[in-house]
């Protein structure tokens, strides 16, 4: 049975199961413990309609140490096993594993938010948020990312989620990342895969501070926020070739855009946002993407302070 005590002395295994080193795990643990205690106080200790003491009654004794709780949710996000397998590995029923997944996902979100690792989600306040940072950044990149999901049963829903680009059913987000800090500074809401990247930013209209640079790819053709210096590779004209100067400029832009690709790769260390998404709970597809971005920001902050 998997437990923190069983794997804490195996560094390579610990990293493979959680995406973190032992030191990083211990750094995140206090915020996670605080979020857990806040949850208990809100939902149990101070609940006005409570009739029995916390812990009374018949319930399955699982994930007792706080370390096991954090290990459980990190392992689920990183490895993304079937719930039946997850339950077997942690010694519980599948229904109990499902309950822990949704509860601990919220606890982890609160822990990451408490230390400021979650990306901004409100497009109208993004500019103010970026300007208020201790060391405001001047260079950003924007890109869209698609995740495969299970094929819906309903024909109309299938058409909403079918991506002509990926030739499968997907969900999509747009991210904005700092090219110097390599942080995810903004994560859009989660949309159906049929929508184009340009359509998503037109719907959300994220704001930016004045006089910043934004590197984008050709999927954002025509997207030009006010007071922002945008850079985009030039497409080869039909039947013609790019000039040497245009090719050089495209190469320079590509060296900047690769940072966004690295950020996306860091996010998708959590296999739950890389493999076919199987969960059907409402808005859970959006929550796990936010958690994956927060965990990426946490690793970047811890490893490259």
The b-or-e profile of 115-151 (16+ CB within 10 A means b, else e) is bebbbbeebeebbeebeeeeeebebbbbbbbbbbbee
For all residues of the chain together, what is the average pLDDT? Answer: 93
Note the pLDDT of residue 6: 96
For the stretch 212-265, pLDDT in tens is 999 999 899 999 998 899 999 998 888 889 999 999 999 999 999 999 999 999
Does 56 have pLDDT greater than 90? no
DSSP annotation of 118 reads: S
Integer angstrom CA distances of residue 278 from 80, 170, 215, 285: 10, 12, 33, 9
pTM: 0.93
Closest CA to 97 of 47, 132, 60, 134: 60
> Which tens digit of pLDDT belongs to each residue from 71-127?
999 999 999 999 999 999 999 999 999 999 999 999 999 999 999 999 999 999 999
> How high is the pLDDT of residue 55?
55
CA–CA gap between residue 261 and residue 257 (Å, rounded): 7
Strand-strand pairing, 168-178 and 162-163? antiparallel
pLDDT at 45: 63
> Strands 139-148, 212-215: parallel, antiparallel or unpaired by DSSP?
parallel
User: Is residue 47 very low, low, confident or very high in pLDDT (cuts 50, 70, 90)?
Assistant: low
Mean pLDDT of all residues in 133-148: 91
Helices within the chain (DSSP H only): 4-7, 11-18, 22-40, 66-79, 83-90, 94-114, 126-131, 155-161, 197-204, 244-267, 284-303
State CA 225 to chain mean position distance: 24
Asked if 217 and 257 count as a contact pair (C-beta separation under 8 A), the reply is yes
User: Quick one: CA torsion of 120, 123, 126, 127, rounded to 10 degrees?
Assistant: 170
DSSP lists the bridge partners of residue 162 as: 169
Q: For residue range 177-220, list pLDDT tens digits in order.
A: 999 999 999 999 999 999 999 999 999 999 999 989 999 998 99
């Amino acid at each position: 049975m998997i437990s923190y005590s069983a794997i804490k002395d195996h560094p390579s295994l610990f990293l493979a199961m959680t995406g973190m080193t032992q030191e990083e795990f211990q750094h995140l643990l206090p915020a996670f413990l605080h979020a857990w205690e806040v949850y208990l106080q809100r939902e149990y200790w101070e609940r006005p309609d409570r009739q029995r003491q916390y812990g009374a009654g018949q319930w399955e004794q699982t994930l007792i140490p706080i370390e096991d709780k954090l290990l459980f949710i990190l392992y689920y996000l990183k490895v993304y096993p079937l719930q039946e397998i997850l339950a077997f590995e942690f010694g519980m029923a599948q229904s109990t594993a499902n309950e822990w997944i949704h509860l601990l996902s919220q606890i982890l979100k609160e822990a990451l938010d408490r230390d400021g690792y979650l990306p901004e989600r409100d497009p109208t306040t993004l500019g103010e948020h970026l300007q208020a940072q201790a060391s405001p950044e001047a260079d950003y990149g924007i890109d869209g990312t698609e995740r495969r999901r299970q094929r819906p049963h309903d024909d109309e829903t299938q058409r909403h989620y079918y991506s002509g680009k990926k030739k499968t059913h997907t969900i999509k987000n747009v991210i904005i990342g700092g090219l110097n800090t390599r942080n995810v500074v903004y994560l859009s809401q989660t949309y159906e895969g049929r929508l184009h990247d340009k359509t998503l930013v037109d719907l959300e209209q994220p704001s930016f501070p004045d006089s910043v640079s934004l590197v984008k790819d050709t999927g954002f053709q025509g997207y030009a926020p006010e007071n922002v210096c945008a850079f985009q590779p030039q497409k080869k004209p039909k039947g013609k070739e790019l000039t040497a100067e245009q090719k050089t400029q495209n190469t320079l832009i590509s060296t900047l855009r690769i940072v966004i690709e690295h950020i996306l790769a860091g996010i998708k260390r959590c296999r739950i946002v890389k493999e076919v998404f199987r969960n059907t709970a409402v808005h859970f597809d959006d929550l796990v993407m936010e958690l994956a971005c927060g965990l990426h920001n946490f690793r970047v902050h811890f490893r490259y302070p």
